[in-house]
A and B are shown apart, each in its own frame.
Chain A
Amino acid sequence: MKSVIKTLSEKLRSGQITSVELTEKYIEAIKRVNPVINAYVHETFEEARRDAEYADRLIKEGKGTPLTGIPFTLKDNIATDGELTTCCSKILEGFRPYYDATVWKKLKEQGAVLLGKTNMDEFAMGSTSETSVYGAPLNPRNTARVTGGSSGGVAAAVCADIAAYGLGSDTGGSIRQPASFCGIVGFKPTYGAVSRYGLIAYGSSLDQIGPMTHSVTDAALVYDAIKGEDCADQTSAPVHMGPTALNGDVRGIKIGVAKEFFDGINPQIKGAIDAAIEQYKNAGAEVVEVSIPALKLALPVYYIIACAEASSNLGRYDGIRYGYRAANYSSVDDMITKTRTEGFGREVKKRIMLGTYVLSSGYFDAYYKKACLIRKRVESQLAECFEKCDVLFAPTAPVTAFPLGYSGGNALETYLSDVCTVPVNIAGLPAIALPCGKDKDGLPIGMQIIGKKFDDERVLDIAYFAEKSKLCELEDVEGGVRL
């Protein structure tokens, strides 16, 4: 793992390259690489050039931050004033918000350079990014494989280095799982640590924006730039506002290992994580066994709650105020039904239907209400774990990147692949996914380090040990910028 942001930032500050020049390099790389991997769905090159000029001014005036002048990408569900924001859905075709997401506003002020919006599962509903209306992005490490999802476009763009970093969103693993499939770092902060304002909602009580980067150092730099309470998001919370200190000193830390996380996972993945834990042990960490009996239930609970919230959140796409509108209809009500029927893809419709079902009278108590109760149980069992350890180590996914097209015929199996990531969202915890090896097909294996609420900086610091000790070095993918 190398800090791309630090490298670029030093070059910019020392005058070896300007942001305008750097941006052109990225634009050129996108034009070359993107037709193959389909990471970007909306390019914002004009915006990027303006951003770069502003960044160069900031640097000249000595007002730069580590992110000033560095080109990056946003997932297509994060609102950008005047630029297409479509959630990779037909129903939001042509939609240009007239407001900025708080995270983009913060980055823009620091002179970050927005290259474009990246591919994703439609409305972030999926684990492979194949439900995108623009077609799936391809995994740069093996283009016959999926990138994972739903933030697959960001993962592919960062992996191929046609973005220095990106922001994704994570409702049930959508940052961490594609990061692992593509062999990069993905960090999901504590629920509330980063503002959700401008993030187009999927499951509001689970959604969280976070960085997807080449390294832990980069993840910490980006996290520092976007974190903090926001008066436009009441669920955001105050957090420590200084820079995250990374020492990578793991002496005396207690690593919790819950066997429930390892049930039924690919043995190669288990092997890679065991090996990583060994290295932490060698550096002075202690391993404690913990148990989370309710963990298995987290997955159905996640699907019930996420879909319930989604069925409500997606009610607003009615063709009246934005996006797609059906061409022929017999009444306003019929227009709404036709717009939605034509505008949403299969997976989205399925989840809306499931959410409608679990909230409908007669089923509410058996599904939604009970799911909320179990959610509490999962949360409290995880909290109990953290009385015995500082962080939990777990796989990111029970499998490595699926072949393209595989999930279409294996819906439930694909759902099950979220088993290791959803408990974190259910409990609102911070977790980082980072590469820890490769399987026999050469596909990256990811591991997760999960912390307790608002222990984001600790999680980053413990993950930094892996970077510092070169625990796992994956080779660069050909074709990107790679300065």
Chain B
Amino acid sequence: MKYQLVSGLETHVELATATKIFCGCTTAFGGAPNTRCCPVCTGQPGALPILNKRVVEFAIRAGLATHCTINTTTHLDRKNYCYPDLPKAYQISQFDKPLCEHGYVELESGKRIGITRIHIEEDAGKLVHESGFTFIDYNRGGVPLIEIVSEPDISSPEEAREYVEKLQLIMRYIGVSDCKMQEGSMRCDVNISLMPVGSTKFGTRTEIKNMNSLSYIEKAMAYEYSRQAEILDNGGEVVQATMRYDEHTGETSVMRTKEDAQDYRYFPEPDILTVVIPEEKVEEIRASLPELPTDKLKRYVNELRINPANAQLLYKYKAVCDFVEKAISLGAGVKNTVNLTVGTLYSKLETEDDKERFNLPVTAEEMAKLVKLADEGKINITLAQKTLSKMAEEGKPVSAYISESDLAGVDEGELEGICKKAVESNPQAVADFKAGKEKAIFALYGFIKKATQGKADIKKADAILRQLIMK
């Protein structure tokens, strides 16, 4: 590789507040056009913005979760530009005093991607161009966003992907956003420049706007890397430009160059007072943060001794983690809980969204009851899996499938009798076993399982069988 990729991301994350940033209209996705609007979010003359407290709170949460410092004296600014989706012809944003600054996100490798700043701002409306008309819907107008700006610390498309995934995970963990790229609640602008390997002087950068999928980010970056490399190889110069990525052709193209760059004429928003956030409030928010994904992963592997592959499968979904951790706290063994979750429940949680929300009618309490039966050998793992599968489908408690009598059903004496029958009716298997074929005993297990409808504890049966055969 002749050139080093240098990349920084600007990530917009829609905050999961109930109302818009400056008015009481709902932020719910969808809705008939212009039905989630009022004078404030449609820029009616004389209407004034009133800042939503939770927006500030969520932005601080996001800042603390990415190790930022919080500017406790903060104000908003106007970013002036004219576009039909922006009803006031300015976006209320933050310019010189973002709420959060100087943080980082840690990748698996331990590398830290610096966070330059996180600021709050409002989303724009939606345009539809159709049959000679431009139609405008302001339902999304005024939905709160945070913009997370990274340092140019990213050096490959894979790192960019991991960085975005980590951000997604963090934002979901702390409950500030669902970060659904396909619904537009998370989107990225990617800055890319190249410099000769070993150099420290950044090249001219381009910016690819509005990426809404992880794989597009990777593909667009790879394309842009080779495009810029080719220019440099031919002795040319990269032109500073804003690009768009065409997902069909897989190519980037220029939207505008530096010459027609916008002049946003930022100035302090006079309609909103400077806010002083009490230190205690920041500490209160800090104290309310859940364990962060990286910490959880480490704890799962190092303290709970969950195997790394399973730990990876679990930690991405906070709702699943909450479920597992609660079951464990109720006395369920770690190993069976994790295996049953990853094995049985994940097959019922088909989509990412299902896992995100742990969309199953199984409570941690019932899970704990079931796992404890398995832990104590009262039911074998196969029955536990089958039962759990039914519970997930039907939403009934453990007791609906396994009764006390079932558990008491196979006592020692009865089991011994069944084992005897197994030995008697399978002479060939017994002979094979005696001849040293360990696996031959499986045929006897099968007989016992069948005879007890799976209720027998195979470990105990195994001990009895061996005694009988060796007699």
Report A-B touching, CB under 8 Å: yes
- Residues on A lying within 8 angstroms of B by beta carbon are 77-79, 85, 87, 92, 95, 97-99, 101, 196-201, 203-205, 231-235, 308-309, 311-312, 315-316, 318, 320-322, 332-333, 336, 356, 359-361, 364, 368
For chain A, what secondary structure do more than half of its interface residues adopt (helix, strand, loop), or is it mixed?
Answer: loop
Q: Give B125 Cβ to nearest chain A Cβ, in Å.
A: 10
Q: What string of 1s and 0s marks CB contacts (under 8 Å) between B88-114 and chain A?
A: 111000000000000000000000000
Residue of B nearest to A323 (CB): B45
Q: Report yes or no: B267 in contact with A320, Cβ–Cβ below 8 A.
A: no
Q: Is the CB of A356 within 8 A of B265?
A: yes
CB of A360 within 8 A of CB of B46, answer no
A234 with B265: CB separation less than 8 A: no
A198 CA to B176 CA, complexed, in Å:
33
CA distance A85 to B39 in the complex (A): 14
Which residues in B have their C-beta under 8 angstroms from that of A198?
46-47
- Chain A residues contacting B49 (CB-CB under 8 Å) are 234
Q: With a CB–CB cut-off of 8 A, which chain B residues contact A359?
A: 80, 265-267
Whether the pair B45, A205 counts as a contact (CB closer than 8 A) is no
The answer to the question of B43 belonging to the interface, with a C-beta cut-off of 8 Å to chain A, is: yes
Sample of 12 further A-B pairs with CB below 8 A, known A201-B45, A234-B271, A318-B82: A97-B46, A99-B44, A234-B49, A234-B273, A235-B273, A311-B80, A312-B80, A315-B88, A316-B45, A316-B88, A318-B84, A359-B80
Q: Are A312 and B136 in contact (CB under 8 A)?
A: no
B134 / chain A contacts, CB cutoff of 8 Å: 332
Please measure, in the bound complex, the distance between the C-alpha atom of A97 and the C-alpha atom of B78, giving whole angstroms: 24
7 inter-chain pairs at a CB distance below 8 angstroms, sorted by A residue, are A77-B46, A87-B45, A95-B45, A197-B48, A198-B47, A200-B45, A318-B84
Q: Give the most central of A85, A205, A318: most B CB within 10 Å.
A: A318
Complex contact B45–A97 (CB within 8 A): yes
In whole angstroms, how far apart are the Cα atoms of A309 and B271 in the complex?
A: 10
Measured CB to CB, the residues of B under 8 A from A are 39, 42-51, 78, 80, 82, 84, 87-90, 134, 136, 263, 265-267, 270-273
**CB distance A79 to B45 under 8 Å?**
yes
- CB–CB A235/B80 < 8 A: no
* Top 5 A-B pairs, shortest CB-CB distance: A315-B89, A359-B265, A205-B270, A204-B270, A200-B45
Task: Determine the chain B residues whose CB is within 8 A of the CB of A315 once the complex forms.
Answer: 80, 82, 88-90
- Chain A residue nearest to B78 (CB atoms) is A312
Partner of A197, one of B47, B84, B267, B272: B47
Partner of A321 from B42, B51, B82, B271 at Cβ < 8 Å: B42
A234 contacts which of B39, B44, B50 (Cβ < 8 Å)?
Answer: B50
| Partner among A77, A78, A97 whose Cβ is within 8 Å of the Cβ of B44 | A97
List, in ascending order, chain B residues with CB within 8 A of A309's CB: 267, 270
Q: Are B263 and A360 in contact (CB under 8 A)?
A: yes
- Chain B proximity of A43: nearest CB distance (Å): 21
User: Which chain B residue lies CB-closest to A205?
Assistant: B270
Chain A residues, Cβ within 8 Å of B89: 312, 315-316, 318
Report Cα–Cα, A197/B47, bound state, in Å.
6
Chain B residue at minimum C-beta to C-beta distance from A333:
B82
> Measured between C-beta atoms, what is the minimum distance from B316 to chain A in Å?
40
Residues of B near A318 (CB, < 8 A) are: 82, 84, 89
Q: Which residue of A lies closest to B127 (CB)?
A: A332
**CB neighbours of A199 from chain B (8 A):** 46
Contact of A98 among B39, B136, B267, B273 (CB under 8 A): B39
- Residues of chain B contacted by A201 (CB below 8 angstroms): 45-46, 271
Question: What chain A residues lie within 8 Å of B266 (beta carbons)?
Answer: 359
Which residues of A are found within 8 Å of B270, using beta-carbon distances? 203-205, 235, 309
Taking A98-B39, A321-B43 as contacts, is the C-beta distance between A232 and B48 under 8 angstroms? yes
Docked complex Cα distance between A318 and B44 (Å) = 12
